[in-house]
Structure 1
Amino acid sequence: MTDEPPEWDDGAEEPAASVVRPYTLTSGRTTSEVDVPLEATVELTVEGRSKRWPAHDPTRRIVDLCADELLSVAEIAARAGLAIGVARVLVGDLAAEGSVQLQQTMTDSTSSDERINLIERTLRGLRDL
């Protein structure tokens, strides 16, 4: 008997999913220098657009997703196939280096109706994935 996990082959043409633990993408970190709310929208900055992103860089997918539209951190996680905690750390890293700008969508003065509207929009966006 072998200790190696069996290879997954269901006959599909797509390659099997990578078996990389999420925390390896963040070097084991669970927080970043920047507070990143799940509902915050992420906008690529001029610096982020002009930077050359290596293909193996885990933040490259986030940058590519944000190149054409504003997405919330939750939407980025869903579209990139990342755990939400990993997405928050990676987006926080991008914000700390100036490659993205976070736009807060809620403050202490946000009304209940505005909060409900935001939740509904986010759910619609995630369903459309």
Structure 2
Amino acid sequence: MSPIRKCSRNRCQNPAVATMTYGYDEATAVIGPLAPVPQAGALDLCKDHANSVTVPVGWQMVRLQTDFEDAPPSPDDLMALADAIRETSQRDVPPPQPAQREIRRPTADVNRRPHTRPHFTVIPGGDNDDDPAE
């Protein structure tokens, strides 16, 4: 269980301690201990989210473990992190590429005639000499 993996919920930066998988055919969600490796279609959840997550109406929730404990980093986790940093630092950085800008317009904009301005008529008025307020 790696503390490097984060909770899958938006804006949550807490370490993941549980994995939630779905059985769509059975309308079931299963929450259990953190999977050893990330799984496609599964959510890694922190302790708070694993205890508070809900499922859609009509679905069944199965919790294989209720007390999710934060796992301390193991030597394997630390070595994997060190190897990943070492490998990344030895890569050559590719030169920057100039940005490509492409402007796309719908063909209707190109072929459309320009809008004609509406014709406004000025109606004299507003000079009221019979105004009793003056």
Q: Larger RCO: Structure 1 or Structure 2 (Cα < 8 Å, ≥ 6 residues apart)?
A: 1
TM-score exceeds 0.5: no
TM-score grouping bracket, smaller chain normalisation: under 0.3
- The structure richer in helix per residue is 1
Give TM-score scaled by structure 2 length. Answer: 0.23
Larger Rg: 2
Q: Which has the higher strand share?
A: 2
TM-score (norm 1): 0.24
